[in-house]
Amino acid sequence: MNPIYQNIIKISAFDVDSNNRLRINRLFDYFQDAASNDAERLGFGYKDFIPKSLFWVLSWIKIEFLDYPKFMDEVEIQTWGKKQHKLYSMRDFLFLNSKDEIIIKGTSAWLLLDAKSLRPKVLTQLYPELKMLETKVALTDLPNKLSPFEKLELIYSKVIRYSDIDLNNHTNNAKYVELMFDCFDQEIHKEHNVKTLTISFNAETKFGDEISLYKGTMNSSLPSHYVEAKNKITNAVVFQAVVEWK
């Protein structure tokens, strides 16, 4: 069996923003759909794990953008399980244009959780025969803790509603990405493209929870921002992100 899952998508009008660039939250939708399909075909997906009270969560991700798909572009998505790193199952992915040129590349860290105890399980211990594709690498980065930023500005607050909730009954991380980019005004999106995006998903939120989103400007050679969301009741940091623009 081919260790690389491949799928071709056509970018729709609702996939792009006012600058005719693929919305990054839609990229998350497409990537997670490919990851889910790959896990299903290999025997450790949703259908396999629901009877075992196990489920996958995306814990950390880094993405590098070389170019952006536009409306009506055909894009090939490739994804594969790369290796086990401590408790994390590492999964890389590529987006290629119609000329087979890499336009987006990324790496991600997933946790396999027990639905009852919420404790992580190690995939390679459950499936010792599993072979991962360590020789193909999109990005070499490994999950790391993002340092909290001191000078933060409150941008807005948001109550989690029905449309934010996913199959696991919590807020989907693609929704967090959408909320994060709403922290920036239209002028920034018009004048800049995202070069790299790193996100750490730290705590879940559910229907009715309220989160506050904060933003800070980082000192670096390129325009960069730190964004985090906090649960207004528990004060738990829900996610942290670093956006580097070009």
Number of neighbours of residue 63 by Cβ within 10 angstroms:
23
> What percent of the chain has pLDDT above 70?
100
* Dihedral sign from CA coordinates of 35, 107, 165, 69: negative
pLDDT band at 155 (very low <50, low <70, confident <90, very high): very high
Mean pLDDT of all residues in 188-207: 97
Assigned CATH class of 5-126: alpha beta
- 3-state SS of the chain? CCCCEEEEEECCHHHECCCCCECHHHHHHHHHHHHHHHHHHHCCCHHHHCCCCEEEEEEEEEEEECCCCCCCCEEEEEEEEEEEECCEEEEEEEEECCCCCEEEEEEEEEEEEECCCCCEECHHHHCCCCCCCCCCCCCCCCCCCCCCCCCCEEEEEEECCHHHECCCCCECHHHHHHHHHCCCCHHHHHHCCEEEEEEEECCCCCCCCEEEEEEEEECCCCCEEEEEEEECCCCCEEEEEEEEEC
Interval 104-140: pLDDT, tens = 999 999 999 999 999 999 999 999 999 999 999 999 9
Residue 177 · residue 119 · CB < 8 Å: no
Predicted pLDDT at 221: 73
- pLDDT of residue 230 exceeding 90, the answer is yes
Assigned CATH class of 153-245: alpha beta
Predicted pLDDT at 222: 76
Task: Output the six-digit token pair for 41.
Answer: 């075909």
pLDDT band at 150 (very low <50, low <70, confident <90, very high): confident
Mean pLDDT of all residues in 34-41: 96
pTM of the full structure: 0.95
Q: For CATH 3.10.129.10, list the domain ranges present in the chain.
A: 5-126, 153-245
